Structures are given as C-alpha cells and as structure tokens.
Amino acid sequence: MLQAVPISWFLTLSAVLFSLGVAGFLFRRNIITVFMSIELMLNAVNLSFVTFSYHHKEVAGHLFTFFVMVVAAAEAAVGLAIILTVFKNRATLNIDDVSSMKN
C-alpha cells in the first residue's frame, strides 16, 4: 500500500479533466454548456499549476492559479452577458444557429 500519492497521479487527473472539458467543448451544442466546459478546462490547468508548485517547492504556481481564477471570473461575467445579448437578439441557445460569421 502506498503511503503517499505520486505526483504523476495528480497530473494524470488534470489531463483527464482537461480531455473531458475538450470533449464538452467540441460535442455539446448548448452555448451555456460549452462555456461550462471552458471552466472545466481552466480548472484542470489550475490543478496542474498547484501540483507543479508542490513539485518545485515554489509558491509561484499558486499565484498563477489565483490569476487564472480572476481571469475566469471576468470572462464568466462578460461571456454570460454576451450569451444574454445573443439570446435577446436571436432567441436561441444553440451554437449551430448562431452562424452569421460563416462564409
């Protein structure tokens, strides 16, 4: 029985979460769920930052995680406002229907 957790387990978990975020981003059609998948990917990267911070015995990774959180909060505010505006103008949440930039 292992007494402590190998660092690669944390990094593999981060990779799994990131892949699931990519899957959600690519496969889902609801604009809100796509946005949530982006948050999932950001969280996976945060876990990597904190893990590497532990590995290198440095506090810098925590700071990067902190800044990612701030950017995510700002992004969520603006992104959800954009979603509201899109819904107000087009009455749809399906990203396939919002394609006026195509062609």
Which residues in 33-62 contact other proteins (CB under 8 A)? Answer: 33, 35-37, 39-40, 43, 46-47, 50-51, 53-55, 57-60, 62
Neighbour count for residue 65 (Cβ, 10 Å):
19
Q: Least distance (Å) from other proteins to the CB of residue 41?
A: 10
Question: Distance between CA 82 and CA 90 in Å, rounded?
Answer: 12
Name residues contacting other proteins, limited to 59-98 (CB under 8 A): 59-60, 62-63, 65-67, 69-78, 80-85, 87, 93-94, 96
Among 26, 99, 100, 102, binds other proteins (CB under 8 A): 26
CB within 8 A of 83, min separation 6: which ones? 31, 32, 35, 93
Which residue from 80, 85, 82, 86 is spatially nearest to 99, judged by alpha carbons? 86
- The nearest distance, CB 99 to other proteins, in angstroms, is 14
